[in-house]
């Protein structure tokens, strides 16, 4: 039988060994608990994706990502314009709060103390870096520069420039930009399908650098952002991606039917589009628009291939189970529907964009139809990574929907705004069933679409007496979000 002293010595030895184990294991365990973030952005990408049920558009890697996580079928931007949309997403604040509604480089000028998403991760010991476009860049004019980037967000920044920038003279142009001119491609009907390799293009270079970072930083927590410029115009990708879409298989909406869709729409809703309707530019033919649509789809598949390279890198370094993967676009895009092209509209096709999130331990191969906002990403990533974000974030964590995509309680609507000038602006509220839009708080018109019956938003029901109570209720729900500063309204 052991004496009390011997028993104490045995206990002390055991305690000492336990202490040694704790000291040896705890730091590694703590390190493993920090989840990485791979933050993947596309530019001007709508939901014409295989991952979203479009059988024509080939996106095998986005399909793969969707099987790994949750596809958000109704995700909406705060403003369908690159600059304010991206600033809102990266700060978790609405354009009205930031006082940003244009492409001007003014995030820190107007909000010097804001803590951006990447900055939050930097402050918490993460390596934060981006390659390509996360904040606004003129495309292709500012490719290869820092453009409207925010230096405080990142530890490292990479600004590649491929042949889509360095050989602009080879790009085929339609409309008023048929002849090359300075800054003539930022908004254009233009395309190019060179016989080229992926890494000759800016987006291929973006993927290559992020793949390198994944390997270099695999043993430390990272927030890595891959900002792809496609499918933003001009639509440029290697020819092999164009070959996926035979031109004879590209269909265009009937223009007579398209024009009828706009008969009951307030003029302000399409004021930027009516002068040269259809397709925004004068003298663009249906066949030229068809070629641009083919090119748009080709650039989607080009981006998809780069996403595949990033996913392969995570798998190669055994990081899939340690990494939250987010794929997003800054807004949607019209390709001839209603005879419209581009963005900057409050319709579903402009306000809605793809969002896929794969997070370790959460739902896989699922989708949700709940309306969510892109400013929800900031609180979501902070929540999933155990970080304390700023108190003034205006979104909500998507964790409930990532845990239970169909059964979670989620009543928050999505709000998108459009601002052209002090005399032309509006707000649009999206619930699970309705899209309700007011122009100048209703003075310049209203729109109401029933997505249970009319997903293409063909019939404006705002003046239907039978829905007067619905209009009144949705108007009340929208009011708290109308916070445009006085100098930006007449």
Q: Model confidence over 344-389: pLDDT tens digits?
A: 999 999 999 999 999 999 999 999 999 999 999 999 999 999 999 9
Tell me what pLDDT residue 22 has: 36
**Domain membership flag for residue 380:** yes
Span 112-121, average pLDDT: 98
Domains in the chain, number? 1
Query: Residue 7's pLDDT band (boundaries 50, 70, 90)?
Result: very low
pTM confidence score: 0.93
Residue 353 three-state SS = strand
pLDDT at 147 over 80: yes
Query: Residue 19's pLDDT band (boundaries 50, 70, 90)?
Result: very low
Domain range for residue 245? 34-405
Tell me what pLDDT residue 11 has: 39
- Residue 433: which residues within 8 A CB-CB, separation 6 or more? 450, 451, 452
pLDDT at 217 over 60: yes
Beta bridge partners of 226: 40, 131
Let me know: does 193 contact 238? Beta carbons within 8 Å: yes
Tell me what pLDDT residue 448 has: 99
Between residues 179 and 111, which one has the greater pLDDT?
111
Closest by Cα among 399, 378, 398, 376 to 390: 378
Strand order in the sheet with 446-450: 414-421, 424-430, 434-439, 446-450
State the Rg of the chain over Cα.
24
**Domain membership flag for residue 443:** no
Tell me what pLDDT residue 296 has: 98
Let me know: does 381 contact 324? Beta carbons within 8 Å: yes
Taken as a whole, the chain contains a residue count of 490
Tell me what pLDDT residue 10 has: 41
pLDDT at 2 over 90: no
Closest by Cα among 291, 302, 304 to 237: 302
Closest by Cα among 136, 80, 41, 74 to 342: 80
**Domain membership flag for residue 446:** no
Span 57-73, average pLDDT: 98
**Domain membership flag for residue 5:** no
Over the stretch 242-297, which tens digit does the pLDDT of each residue have? Answer: 999 999 999 999 999 999 999 999 999 999 999 999 999 999 999 999 999 999 99
**Domain membership flag for residue 57:** yes
DSSP letter (8 states) at residue 319: -
Measured distance CA(325)–CA(360) in Å, rounded: 9
Closest by Cα among 312, 320, 280, 303 to 68: 320
Span 442-464, average pLDDT: 98
pLDDT at 23 over 50: no
Span 469-487, average pLDDT: 98
**Domain membership flag for residue 440:** no
Query: Residue 15's pLDDT band (boundaries 50, 70, 90)?
Result: very low
Over the stretch 299-329, which tens digit does the pLDDT of each residue have? Answer: 999 999 999 999 999 999 999 999 999 999 9
Catalytic center residues:
82, 136
DSSP letter (8 states) at residue 213: H
Let me know: does 332 contact 349? Beta carbons within 8 Å: yes
Alpha helices in 159-273 (DSSP H): 163-166, 202-216, 239-242, 255-261
Measured distance CA(358)–CA(326) in Å, rounded: 7
82-91 and 377-384 are packed helices; what angle lies between their axes, rounded to 10 degrees? Answer: 30
Over the stretch 96-105, which tens digit does the pLDDT of each residue have? Answer: 999 999 999 9
Query: In angstroms, how far is CA 113 from the centroid of its own chain?
Result: 24
Cβ neighbours around 361 below 10 Å, total? 10
**Domain membership flag for residue 335:** yes
Query: Residue 125's pLDDT band (boundaries 50, 70, 90)?
Result: very high
Tell me what pLDDT residue 181 has: 59
Positive or negative, the CA dihedral 351, 352, 358, 359 is positive
Over the stretch 416-440, which tens digit does the pLDDT of each residue have? Answer: 999 999 999 999 999 999 999 999 9
Query: Tokens 């649009």 — which residue?
Result: 428
Query: Residue 33's pLDDT band (boundaries 50, 70, 90)?
Result: confident
Burial class, 471, CB count within 10 angstroms (exposed 0-12 / middle 13-18 / buried 19+): buried
Let me know: does 354 contact 328? Beta carbons within 8 Å: yes
Residue 287 three-state SS = helix
Which CATH number characterizes residue 274's domain? 3.40.720.10
**Domain membership flag for residue 462:** no
Phi, psi (degrees; rounded to nearest 5) at 158? -130, 125
- What are the C-alpha distances in Å from 359 to residues 33, 71, 382, 383, 407? 13, 12, 13, 12, 18
């Amino acid at each position: 039988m052991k004496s009390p002293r011997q028993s104490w010595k045995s206990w002390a030895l055991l305690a000492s060994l336990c202490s040694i184990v704790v000291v040896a294991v705890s730091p590694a365990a703590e390190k493993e608990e920090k989840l990485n973030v791979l933050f993947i952005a596309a530019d001007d990408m709508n939901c014409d994706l295989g991952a979203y049920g479009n059988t024509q558009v080939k996106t095998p890697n986005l399909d793969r990502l969707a099987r790994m996580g949750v596809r958000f079928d109704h995700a909406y931007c705060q403003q369908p314009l690159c600059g304010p949309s991206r600033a809102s997403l990266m700060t978790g604040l609405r354009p009205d709060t930031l006082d940003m509604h244009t492409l001007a480089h003014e995030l820190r000028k107007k909000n010097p103390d804001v803590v951006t998403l990447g900055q939050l991760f930097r402050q918490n010991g993460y390596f934060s870096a981006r390659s390509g476009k996360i904040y606004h860049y003129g495309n292709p004019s500012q490719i290869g520069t820092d453009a409207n980037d925010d230096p405080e967000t990142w530890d490292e920044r990479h600004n590649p420039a491929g042949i889509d920038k360095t050989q602009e003279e080879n790009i085929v142009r339609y409309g008023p930009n048929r002849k090359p001119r300075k800054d003539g491609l930022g908004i254009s009907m233009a395309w190019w399908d060179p016989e080229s390799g992926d890494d000759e293009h800016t987006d291929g270079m973006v993927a290559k650098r992020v793949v390198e970072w994944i390997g270099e930083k695999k043993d430390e927590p990272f927030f890595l952002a891959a900002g792809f410029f496609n499918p933003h115009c001009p639509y440029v990708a290697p020819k092999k991606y164009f070959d996926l879409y035979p031109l004879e298989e590209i269909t265009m909406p009937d223009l007579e039917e398209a024009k009828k869709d706009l008969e009951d729409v307030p003029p302000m809703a399409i004021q930027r589009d009516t002068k040269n309707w259809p397709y925004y530019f004068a003298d663009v033919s249906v066949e030229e628009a068809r070629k641009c649509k083919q090119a748009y789809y080709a650039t989607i598949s080009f981006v998809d291939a780069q996403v595949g390279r990033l996913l392969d890198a995570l798998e190669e370094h055994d990081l899939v189970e340690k990494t939250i993967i987010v794929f997003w676009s800054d807004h949607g895009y019209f390709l001839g529907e209603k005879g419209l092209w581009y963005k900057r509209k409050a319709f579903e096709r402009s306000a809605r964009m793809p969002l896929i999130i794969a997070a370790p331990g959460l739902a896989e191969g699922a989708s949700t139809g709940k309306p969510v906002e892109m400013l929800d990403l900031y609180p979501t990533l902070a929540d999933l990574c155990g970080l304390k974000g700023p108190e003034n974030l205006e979104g909500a964590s998507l964790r409930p929907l990532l845990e239970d995509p169909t059964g979670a309680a989620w009543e928050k609507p999505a709000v998108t705004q459009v601002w052209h000038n002090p005399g032309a602006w509006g707000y649009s509220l999206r619930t699970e069933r309705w899209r309700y839009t007011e122009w100048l708080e209703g003075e310049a018109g209203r729109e109401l679409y029933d997505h249970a019956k009319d997903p293409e938003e063909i019939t404006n029901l705002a003046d239907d007496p039978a829905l007067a109570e619905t209009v009144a209720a949705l108007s009340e729900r929208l009011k708290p979000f109308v916070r445009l500063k006085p100098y930006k309204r007449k």
